[in-house]
Structure formats: C-alpha cells, structure tokens
Chains A and B, each alone.
Chain A
Amino acid sequence: MKVSKLTLLGLTVSLAMMLSFVETQIPPLMPTVPGMKMGLANIAIVFALYRFGGKEAFCISLVRLFLTGLLFNPSTIPYSLAGAVLSFVGMVLLKKIPAFSSVAVSVAGGVLHNVGQIAVAILIMETVQISYWLPFLLLSGTISGVAIGVAAGVLVRRIGLK
C-alpha cells in the first residue's frame, strides 16, 4: 500500500471521527426515540466507498466505530456494530446498481443502520417492544440519508484523488 493512500485512509478515519463528535454536540430532535441520529459519519463512509472502494470503506467504518465507541460510550458498540455492518452490506449492493446515485446508497445505509440497531436491541434487551420505534427510525433514516448522500456526492465530485 502506498504511503499516500495510507495517509488518505487515515485522514478519512479522522474525518469520520470528527463528524461523530460533532453529532454528539447536537441536541437530539426527538429525545424520546432511542437511536434517532443523523449519522453524519456516514458522509465519510460513503465518500470512501466511491473514492477508495468497498474494502477500504469497510475498514474505515469499523475503525471509526471502535475508536469513537471507546472514546465516548463503549456500551453502544454492539448496537453500532450491527448497524454499521448491515448498513455497509446494503450500501455496497445498491452501489452495484448503476441507476442509483450516492443519495440512494446513503439512504439505504441510514435506514439499515437503524434496522440493525433495533435488531440487536431486541436481542440484548429481550423485548420486541422496541420495534415500536421502527417507523420513526425508518423515516428519520430516510430523511437524514438524503442530506448525507447529497453532501457525500458533492465531496466525491469535487475531491478527485488521482
């Protein structure tokens, strides 16, 4: 691996971590809905997916997840892990379909992240009642996914790494 690429991957990880931190500073819109987040860090992941490729984006996503988890709140790691893996699989699959742009990829990522989190919450807390929040999380994941997909699209178009 070339040093320049290694540096760029490292920079993208720090960008993702910064975005996660920024997100912790924003008060939640609906505090009663557990797990409703914008997922700002997904800007960096979608960017990496288009600019570097699947393998690199997956590594960035996992490194980001464990580092921010350890820094801010380790108890959230299992939830984020399930969300991140499911969301990543969905994004890679959608990216293979040429009709979709980065917006659809990011929307799928946001929605599946929430689905993965709820699934783990059901397993850990042994209660299906949390699925009550699923419609709210689908809605918020879609809306924030659009915003994040547009932002990531701008980055991909403007920053060429050749």
Chain B
Amino acid sequence: MKKIRRADVILIVALLILSVGLYFLMVYHRKDGQGVIVSVDGQEIARYALTEEGTYSLNGGTNILVIEDGSAYLIEADCPDHLCVKQGKVRGVGQVITCLPNKLTVTVYGVKADVELIS
C-alpha cells in the first residue's frame, strides 16, 4: 500500500477549493440585515433595528449588546467563557451570535423576518 497517491491529492485539492469557494459564495450572497432578534431559550425577548445605534442590556443584564455602523456585537457577558463576545460582529442576514450558557441568541433578520425565522 503506497503512502499517498495522485488521486488522494486530487480529492484533497478539490475539497479545499470547494470549501473556500463555498465560503466566498456565502459571503458574496449575504445581504445586510434589517435588525437583530434577541431570543432566550427560543423565545424572542427583544428586537432592534441595525440603524438604532446604542448599547442595550439584554436578558436582565446577562449580556450587553452594542449596535453601531450597521453591525451588532456583544460587548459583555456574565458567563465564564465569553465565547459570545469573541464571536465578534454580525451584520449579514442569518448570521447569529450564540451564548450557550445563557441560552441566548442574537440573530440578524432580513426583510422577511416574520416568515423566515423559525428558530
């Protein structure tokens, strides 16, 4: 059994191209969102337009949301890992920030917000 063959390399390169291509396709087709929906445990608790710049306290203060320049991000969280803060800014339709310890999600919605958001 040979170590690595030509066909292996072709498959690997094809998959690398596919993943990078898919990424750019998704970035290219992403439209800027209208606003964000904040949900806790799947229940919507608040909704902010991406034009309403400011700082908002979410879920009784467990997470702090900032909206500026048409993007939203979490600046503070009371959970130990702060993964939601590290997830950075979201602005494209369908992008989501997730805080698992607080079961909180911030989802960017587009024009059809009420129809397409099942989560």
Contact = CB atoms under 8 A, between A and B. Distances in A.
B118 A126 contact: yes
Contacts of B86: 31-32
Nearest to A130: B96
Interface string B16-40: 1011101100100000000000000
A146 B83 contact: no
Contact of B22 (A32, A100, A138, A153): A138
Given A101-B2, A101-B4, A102-B1, A139 B118 contact: no
B107 A129 contact: yes
Question: For this complex, into which size category does the number of interface residues on chain B fall?
Answer: 20 to 34
Looking at B15, B20, B95, which has the most chain A CB atoms within 10 Å of its CB?
Answer: B15
Looking at A32, A97, A134, which has the most chain B CB atoms within 10 Å of its CB?
Answer: A32
B1 A101 contact: yes
A138 B18 CA distance: 8
Nearest to A153: B3
A90 B109 CA distance: 36
B19 A142 contact: yes
Interface in A91-106: 97, 99-104
15 contacts: A31-B81, A99-B7, A101-B2, A103-B5, A103-B12, A104-B7, A107-B12, A125-B119, A126-B118, A127-B118, A129-B94, A135-B19, A135-B20, A138-B22, A139-B19
Interface of A: 31-32, 50, 97, 99-104, 107-108, 111, 125-127, 129, 132, 134-136, 138-139, 141-142, 146, 149-150, 153, 156-157
